[in-house]
């Protein structure tokens, strides 16, 4: 089975309800000329509206985050069952902003991954090194540690629910981008790490996305690399034309 090409838009804390509906409507009017699966992740308060607006479309909706508990006294949080109840089965976990601003560590992310998998969700799992890690040539060690600590307790069968998203933190929202060669080097390392701990079949089937200032101007070159299976797009996903230019880079 060949792995999927995926282009996912992480909208972060942007777009109110009317803006969300307008952007989604604009996206449905665009033509996907390639084979990439398109995913958008609006803010939690607009997830139900997104599902409704995209009904009949091939564009999938993902949540940006979820709590590890099934329910309880966790003011302001959303659970897996809440996400599921509005027709969503995909969640982004481990984003660098969640790690940095909300102090989510590997142990917490393991719990979140387990809850998501228990609900049959697809997890877009984010990980990546800081600039200091790369300067000190610790980037491979950091990435390997983040993967193994949060994901390598899963069975090979459960990996069918995992999409990996490598995001060099120094290239998010900074205008800096890892070169296509740097992206390929890390993606090949990631795939080899999965292969070593599991098997080549599991490694060959997992989609590995690149997330770090992907734009219409650099998407085609980045996506041309053999181990880059798509992108987790931030700012460029907030403009329909830019986002679909990236989608159609395959």
| Tokens (6 digits) for 160 | 């069918």
CB of 230 within 8 A of CB of 223?
yes
What single-letter DSSP state applies at residue 105? Answer: -
Q: Which residues are catalytic?
A: 95, 167
Helix (H, G, I), strand (E, B), or coil: what is residue 208?
strand
DSSP 139-194: HHHHHHHHHHHHHTTS-TGGGGGEEEEE--GGGSSSS----HHHHHHHHHHHHHHH
C-alpha dihedral sign at 179, 201, 249, 131: negative
């Amino acid at each position: 089975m060949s792995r999927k090409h995926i282009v996912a838009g992480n909208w972060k804390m942007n777009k109110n309800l009317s803006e969300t509906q307008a952007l989604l409507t604009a996206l449905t009017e665009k033509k996907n000329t390639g084979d990439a699966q398109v995913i958008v992740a609006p803010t939690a308060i607009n997830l139900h509206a997104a599902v409704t607006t995209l009904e009949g479309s091939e564009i999938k909706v993902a949540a940006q985050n979820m709590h590890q508990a099934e329910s309880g006294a966790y003011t302001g949080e959303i659970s897996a069952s809440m996400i599921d109840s509005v027709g969503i089965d995909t969640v982004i976990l481990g984003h660098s902003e969640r790690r940095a601003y909300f102090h989510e560590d590997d142990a917490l992310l393991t719990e979140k991954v387990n809850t998501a998998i228990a609900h049959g969700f697809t997890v877009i799992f984010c990980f990546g090194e800081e600039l200091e890690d790369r300067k000190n040539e610790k980037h491979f060690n950091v990435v390997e540690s983040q993967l193994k600590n949060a994901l390598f307790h899963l069975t090979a069968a459960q990996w069918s629910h995992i999409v990996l998203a490598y995001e060099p933190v120094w290239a998010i929202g900074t205008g800096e981008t890892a070169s296509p060669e740097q992206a390929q080097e890390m993606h090949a390392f990631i795939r080899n790490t999965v292969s070593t701990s599991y098997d080549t079949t599991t490694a060959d089937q997992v989609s590995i996305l690149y997330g770090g200032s992907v734009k219409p101007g650099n998407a085609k070159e980045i996506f041309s690399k053999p181990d880059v299976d798509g992108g987790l797009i931030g700012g460029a996903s907030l403009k329909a034309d830019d986002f679909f230019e990236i989608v159609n880079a395959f």
